Amino acid sequence: MDKIVFLDRDGTINEEVEYLHRPSDLVILPGVSAALKRLKEQGFRLVVVTNQAGVARGYYSEADVDQLHQYMNRLLAEDGAEIDHFFYCPHHPVHGIGAYKKSCHCRKPDIGMFEMAENYFQVDKSHSYMVGDKLLDTEAGHKYGVSSVLVGTGYGKELYKGLTEEQKREAFDAYAKDMTAAAEWILQKEGA
């Protein structure tokens, strides 16, 4: 069975730039490479699940998404933090051109991308996690059946400030200020 850390992309791995698609605009957040490397060393597979409605909106193409992911992985691989698989949702239910405008099963908070991962990995849900900077990320993780961590990078910090205590209890299993703290929480939970 595979222990997986499902990772949101924008705001979690890299700086949130509205509809990021140019490699030259990609900035990996501080500490992310080291945190991902640690998780890999402890036997986790790393799987990105990212909403890329910029495709539906006509801002960039699927080829641009693939190219960005290849570039991102070249940078991460230099630090021993290579992503094992990228999944993206190119759709949007309202803002979309042609076939991209649809209420799909892959856009988070739905779980289609997690299910697609089952074609590549034997997901051990009891030792797998979702990390992201929006509630749609943690909701997707919960819906799929894995523990979820909200990170305080990207949109996470501001979002967290506005939540009631009840929302904090229900929406995620932990709040971590960044990917370093999220990895620490995961590894402690795993007793690593």
Q: How far is Cα 142 from Cα 12, in angstroms, rounded to an integer?
A: 18
The tokens of 77 are what? 């691989």
Has 79 been annotated as catalytic?
no
| 22 Cβ contact list (under 8 Å, min separation 6) | 64, 68
Cα dihedral across residues 16, 59, 117, 33: positive or negative: negative
The correct pick among 3, 6, 10, 152 for binding Mg ion (CB under 5 A) is 10
Q: Select from Zn ion, ligand LOTDRBVG, Mg ion, none the partner in contact with residue 19, using the beta carbon and a kind-dependent cut-off of 5 to 8 Å.
A: ligand LOTDRBVG
Q: Which is nearer to Zn ion, 83 or 113 (CB)?
A: 113
| Residue 53 contact partner, candidates Mg ion, ligand LOTDRBVG, Zn ion, none, CB within 5 to 8 A by sort of partner | ligand LOTDRBVG
User: Does residue 8 have an active-site annotation?
Assistant: yes
Binding residue for Zn ion, selected from 3, 107, 108, 127, defined by CB under 5 A: 107
Does the protein bind Zn ion through residue 56 (CB under 5 A)? no
Positions in the binding site for ligand LOTDRBVG (CB under 6 A):
8-11, 18-20, 50-53, 92
Cβ-based burial of 189 (10 A; exposed 0-12, middle 13-18, buried ≥19): middle
**Number of Cβ atoms within 10 Å of the Cβ of 2:** 17
Residue 15 or 190: the one with the smaller Cβ distance to Mg ion is 15
Is residue 133 near Mg ion by the rule CB under 5 A? yes
- The residues binding Mg ion (CB under 5 A) are 8, 10-11, 133
